[in-house]
Amino acid sequence: MAVTIGVPRETAPGEHRVALTPDVADRLAKIGYEIIVERGAGASAYFPDADYEAVGARLAERSDALGADLVATITPPEDELGALQSGATLVGFLQPLDRPDLSASLAAQGVTAFSMEMVPRITRAQKMDALSAMSTVAGYKAVLLAADTLPKFFPLLTTAAGTIRPAQVLILGAGVAGLQALATARRLGAVTSAYDIRPAAREQVESVGAKFVELDLDTADAEDKGGYAKALAKDQQARQVELLARHIAKADVVISTALIPGRAAPVLITESGVEGMSSGSVVIDLAAANGGNCAVTKPDERIVHNGVQILGPTNLPASMPLHASQMYARTLAALVTEFTDEGAFTPNFDDEIVQGACVAHGGEVVHERVKSLTDSLNG
């Protein structure tokens, strides 16, 4: 009997993506899996049931999709963990560093859980990097949102009514989302600049035609082994905010993307920093789900503070569900395919990808960092 992969409909508020698209379902079926799709699972991402049936997937009830040997999700079915089989595998964005309790619940249920955002950033795992894929979507959409909100043009325009100067766009955090935002803003004609505490980011920022903002701050040891930014000491953080303020004040648009895995987002724009911006300016805070890089951000709200509009979207990829689903599905399938042997998902628990992404197995939380968090919850 073929190993089953279940694709339940996403039920989190505002979530329109689907974990597997028909083309990827077809690819997995061809290596031996039986694909079970909850009816309507892809509808909000513009993938009708007929497209899944056309590639041989079986349409079924929700309980069938959740009861599969491997359940592919975007976000975990938190209220339905009991529907997962003991011994089954769950793959999705599980937020283990922010929600270690969920990893503990999955372990108690006897589920093997792989968290897509924990896939290590190594060359071999690039095709499985769902977090970077979704950050690409978020960075692109953030600029479109900013352009729609800003009461100015982005590009330089020479008209009969005079010359319009281009918008000044500042990106805080030059990771995948930040670099995509820079490239998109430049395509729209804005003058772009970016700041990142990682000195190595300079070359990447300049490669997309933006100016790198350099502060008088020692950040030589600001990057961890995984390529992520490390938290600054309190005095460095305060100095960073102080030095950034004058650059923020000159910007028409600030898009902030700075995150530190497992920690609250660093505040880079204080309330007084917002008040130093010109009326009509825009802040798009992509770190809103983790507390925000702007002190006045409210998640999933648009607020006006001293004439500045601050938006805190927490799930921009879901607003572009078709391409976001395609990109996510490909990364998930790459993970599954990497550890498929004769039509079965057989991860090697000595493999560094598995060790990085697997958070629960055999009734225990197995990821060292997540386990330390669950242990602290239990006192």
Report, as residue numbers or ranges, the catalytic residues.
121, 126, 129, 132, 228
How large is the average pLDDT for residues 335-341? 97
Residues 121 and 229 in one domain: no
As for how many domains the chain has, the answer is: 2
Question: Is residue 211 classed exposed, middle or buried when 0-12, 13-18 and 19+ CB atoms within 10 A define those classes?
Answer: middle
Q: What is the pLDDT of residues 23-39, one digit of tens each?
A: 999 999 999 999 999 99
Q: How confident is the model at residue 220 (pLDDT cuts 50, 70, 90)?
A: low
Angle at 176 between CA 173 and CA 178, to 5 degrees: 40
Spatial contact of 272 and 242, defined as CB atoms under 8 Å apart: no
Q: What is the largest CA-CA distance in the chain?
A: 72
Of 142, 134, 180, 136, which Cα lies nearest the Cα of 318?
A: 134
According to the model, what pLDDT value does residue 357 have?
97
Residue that finishes a domain, picked among 314, 335, 351? 314
Q: Token pair 């090697």 is at which residue?
A: 348
What DSSP line would sit under 56-93, residue for residue? TPEEE-HHHHHTSSEEE-SS--GGGGGGSPTT-EEEE-
Spatial contact of 47 and 17, defined as CB atoms under 8 Å apart: no
Residue 221 has pLDDT above 80, yes or no: no
Q: What sign has the CA pseudo-torsion 200, 201, 206, 208? A: positive
Domain of residue 201, CATH code: 3.40.50.720
Residues 182 and 46 in one domain: no
Residues 44 and 107 in one domain: yes
Residue 222 has pLDDT above 70, yes or no: no
Spatial contact of 98 and 262, defined as CB atoms under 8 Å apart: yes
Cα(103)–Cα(88) distance, integer angstroms: 14
Residues 29 and 124 in one domain: yes
Residue that finishes a domain, picked among 265, 298, 314? 314
Residue that finishes a domain, picked among 263, 279, 314? 314
Query: Cα-flanking dihedrals φ and ψ of residue 42, to 5°?
Result: -100, 0
Q: Token pair 């689903």 is at which residue?
A: 325
Domain that holds residue 272: 136-314
Rounded to two decimals, the pTM is: 0.93
Residues 255 and 199 in one domain: yes
Side chain identity at residue 16, one-letter code: H
Q: Cα Rg for the chain, rounded, in angstroms?
A: 22
Q: What is the pLDDT of residues 120-140, one digit of tens each?
A: 999 999 999 999 999 999 999
Side chain identity at residue 72, one-letter code: A
- Residue 195 host element (H or E): strand 191-195
Residues 290 and 329 in one domain: no
Residues 353 and 301 in one domain: no
Q: What is the pLDDT of residues 63-119, one digit of tens each?
A: 999 999 999 999 999 899 999 999 999 999 999 999 999 999 999 999 999 999 999
Residue 233 has pLDDT above 90, yes or no: no
Residues 55 and 122 in one domain: yes
Residues 158 and 212 in one domain: yes
Residues 184 and 152 in one domain: yes
| Interstrand relation of 302-305 and 308-311 (parallel, antiparallel or unpaired) | antiparallel
Cα(96)–Cα(104) distance, integer angstroms: 9
According to the model, what pLDDT value does residue 185 have?
98
The SS3 call for residue 20 is coil
Question: Is residue 253 classed exposed, middle or buried when 0-12, 13-18 and 19+ CB atoms within 10 A define those classes?
Answer: buried
Residues 147 and 212 in one domain: yes
CB contact set of 301 (below 8 Å; sequence gap of 6+): 311, 312
Question: Residues of the chain with pLDDT > 70: what percent?
Answer: 96
Residues 168 and 289 in one domain: yes
Cα(158)–Cα(169) distance, integer angstroms: 20
Q: How confident is the model at residue 163 (pLDDT cuts 50, 70, 90)?
A: very high
Spatial contact of 185 and 169, defined as CB atoms under 8 Å apart: yes
